[in-house]
Structure 1
């Protein structure tokens, strides 16, 4: 089993399974990392059990488009509509999308930060057939970053004489702490 620190190698393994043909779902089911596929219009066509565990829900054929998650947010906490997510971009622009980070909200209210690896799938003639996506959980990494930001805000608050600025910085620190807490796995 490949480690999640090797996402491109893991994705290449998944792509090879898909390119081998009809038996790809059995191969993808063996991978313990969330992986799903869509058709060329973005409708979810397959997901492994790791996707269900990751998203906290069972995706629905014919209903879920672009993503297997319930709701998405940016790192800044803004709502990210599914039709603007990295998978939608990969399909529309017919290119792999890398270096993005998103936050998935599960139906139970918990959140998970992840790095997606959406990759379009083309047939031998070069026509878009769909896409495959792998979701790497980076919640702990993001929680640590948020904790560090909270600590910086507290240090700044303690070093300023401006009472208004001090309160704003303390409020920001509390917000970063809440966000970090929401990403930590229990």
Structure 2
């Protein structure tokens, strides 16, 4: 869990990745104008899990990344609203699939943003993610389905926590006079920052 002074770090850390995710979606959706095969090819090439549904929420496509993310192989034509096994809110409350952000996007006809949810896999492991459900419209403006990219925020949250710990160590260092303690605190701050930078580089490869 993030410490109180790490919440702003978490929110700030999300901004660049949120923007880059939107860019990924826009790039992929331009392929929709070239046809379904081109769109599916573009989505399959993405390293982030992404899937599509028809207007009623039935899954029509998922890329390979969805399998590792959800811990299961989604069932085209059977799964509805979401490809995850089980969903929970960020507070840990069970979230029925027909109440998930993708369902809201399809029933309202609007993109849903700013939500974090928890996906549970069949093996019991869980992962926090931010969904980007986006309705798909034809040339006449009629909704023909939706696409949803699932951004794993585990590393983003870890970056925020590491940066928070780095600043805390640096603050403590400014208040001590003992050279050994000062050196230890500065080393801790540098190590936290180094680990945060490593995670940022790892995430940047997703959007390369």
TM-score in terms of structure 2 length: 0.65
Please give the alpha-carbon distance, in whole angstroms, between the structure 1 residues aligned to 2:128 and 2:157: 7
Residues 11 and 96 from structure 1, CA distance in 2 versus in 1: closer, same or farther, beyond 3 angstroms? same
Q: Distance in 2 between matches of 1:50 and 1:72?
A: 18
User: Would the aligned equivalents of 1:113 and 1:142 in 2 still touch at CA under 8 Å?
Assistant: no
Query: How far has the Cα of 1:18 moved from its partner?
Result: 2.2
> Aligned to 2:29, which of 4, 11, 15?
15
- Per-residue deviation, residues 61-101 of structure 1 (Å, max 9, x unmatched): 22200000000000100000000000000000000000000
* Rg larger for: 2
**Which of 92, 103, 107 is matched with 1:88 structurally?**
103
- Aligned equivalent of 1:140: 155
**Aligned alpha-carbon RMSD (Å):** 2.1
Asked if 1:30 is matched to 2:45, the reply is: yes
Q: Report 1 or 2 for greater relative contact order, CA contacts < 8 Å, sequence distance ≥ 6.
A: 2
| Gap regions ≥5 residues in structure 2 | 1-15, 165-208
Partners of 1:99 and 1:128 in 2: CA distance = 22
In the alignment, which residue of structure 2 is the partner of 1:130? 145
Matches within 5 A, 1:1-186: 4=17, 6-22=20-36, 23-142=38-157
- Report the secondary structure of 1:88's partner residue: helix
Scaled by the length of structure 1, what TM-score is found?
0.73
Select the structure that is richer in helix. 2
Distance 1:79 1:126, change over 3 A: same
The more displaced of 120-129 and 78-87 is 120-129
Q: Determine helix, strand or coil for the equivalent of 1:118.
A: strand
